[in-house]
Structure 1
């Protein structure tokens, strides 16, 4: 039986985040005050949930091309298959979004369809090169100025 990668809805991810924060907030060390030493709240929550520490990585991709074109669904699918999947074969989630940003030169607000790749992964020495390879490949293939990257410590169990 083949195992399919885990795909999570935005609602599911939000529920887990709220649960982790609730556990951390309700832990007795929170009542100590800001100057009192105590165990790391995130590590306490991870331990209580039997979930190992991971990094939550979000890669932010705009689908409008600078030349006025758009990254097609077929182009996106091939990019995910050829570039992202080999670097995160254990799985990741793809979220469809609409992004908004201000053009530095014109000051104009731009809205565009976008995708977020979300992956929970342990920190390993090869993580930075894998992420940079994805970002660089997207910029080169689709003529993009940037690919956003957000990394947040967390914990996960599957």
Structure 2
């Protein structure tokens, strides 16, 4: 038979971890009876943001800069000119642009790694139809101008205030 001796601090740590997993909350909350049920916590978070901001949509566009057929990547200056000439007139209230490194699988199954940009625009939900046309125009023009397959798009519901 194997005997293992656990020191008092180690035993206390194991009990604390067991309580954390068993109750779903920090041990101090469990020990002192202050742990709130998950539904109540979610309700409190909802109530704390009620009335803060208005319903918006946050659209994220993912622009790659690598091109096919041995053509050089789209230079930063050229991309920034596209943003200034095409995107800004359609979203003059503001946008956010972040540079990154991306990868994706093309139609031939090849994985492409390239410098990329994530462009984020926020707009009120009631402008969604008009903004959708603008966004699709931007995506289509970028693809046809630079002979690319796609510009990624993700739309997220948001509460925003400025």
2:87 pairs with 1:84:
yes
The answer to whether structure 1 residue 127 and structure 2 residue 131 are counterparts is yes
Output one character per residue of 1:63-116: Cα deviation in whole Å (capped at 9) or x when no partner.
Answer: 0011331111111111001000001000000010111112342x3322111001
Q: Provide the TM-score with structure 1 as the length reference.
A: 0.69
2:75 counterpart (58, 72, 91): 72
Which has the higher Rg, Structure 1 or Structure 2? 2
Query: 1:47 deviation in Å?
Result: 2.2
> Normalising by structure 2, what TM-score?
0.67
1:26 aligns with 2:41: yes
Structure 1 unaligned regions, length at least 5: 1-23, 31-40
Give the Cα separation in 2 of the matches to 1:110 and 1:62: 10
Instruction: Mark the runs of 5 or more structure 2 residues left unpaired by the alignment.
Output: 1-38
| Pair 1:25–1:157, CA change in 2 (3 A) | farther
Aligned residues: 121
Find the residue that maps to 2:50 and give its secondary structure.
helix
Q: Say which structure is richer in helix.
A: 2
Query: Per the alignment, do residues 25 and 82 of structure 1 end up closer, same or farther by CA in structure 2, a change over 3 Å counting?
Result: farther
